[in-house]
Copies of this chain bind each other. A is one copy, B any other.
Amino acid sequence: MLLSKACIYGMRAALYLASSSNDRFIAISQISEDLDISRHFLTKILQQLTKADIMESMKGPKGGVRLKGSGDEITLVEIVAAIDGMDILTECALGLPGCGTAKPCPLHDQWADTRDEIRKMLEDTTLTDLSRKGKEGNLRITEDGSFDWLPKNN
């Protein structure tokens, strides 16, 4: 698995928020319910994203989380960096520390190329891209085939 579950959950939650009216705070309990993700676990993950300034949070009634910036300025790589770290995009495929052009492993060149493809994809994809695509195609963001995954307040 390239990305941890925490990272995947974070991406899905961010995509959920990007598909909502992003001026309002949305309770994590609602997100967790709609996306069928453990509430407490998701809370922890979104804390990381608020610390990374990707989201902002508000306590109390009417509180919750929302994206800090505009969805078209947030790319997937930022979420990955905040949760899994950038290591997965720099690490050696054979696990050798310090693998680079100066001191490569035999697989270095090939892996560097494919790794760049992954990074480019993550860098080029914004939350708005995914949200638009999801809305246009009525695509799912949750396991059960329910295609009307859009947050209720939209």
* Chain A residues with a Cβ under 8 A of chain B: 1-3, 5, 8, 11-12, 15, 76, 88, 91, 93-97, 103-108, 110-111, 113-114, 117-118, 121, 125, 130-131, 133-134, 137, 139-143, 145
Contacts of A108 in B (CB 8 A): 139
How far is B110's CA from A121's CA once the two chains are assembled, in angstroms? Answer: 7
Contact A105:B143 (CB < 8 A) given known A114-B121, A118-B114: no
Q: List 24 A-B contacts (CB under 8 A).
A: A1-B2, A1-B91, A2-B2, A2-B93, A5-B95, A8-B93, A8-B94, A8-B95, A11-B107, A15-B106, A94-B141, A96-B142, A96-B143, A97-B143, A103-B145, A104-B139, A106-B134, A106-B139, A108-B139, A110-B121, A113-B121, A114-B117, A114-B121, A117-B118
State the copy count for this chain.
2
> Which B residue sits closest to A142, measured CB to CB?
B96
Give the distance to chain B from A133, nearest Cβ to Cβ, in Å.
Answer: 5
The 3 closest A-B pairs by CB, nearest first: A106-B134, A106-B130, A8-B95
The complex places the Cα of A105 from the Cα of B12 at a distance, in Å, of 10
Residues of B within 8 A of A125 (CB): 107, 110
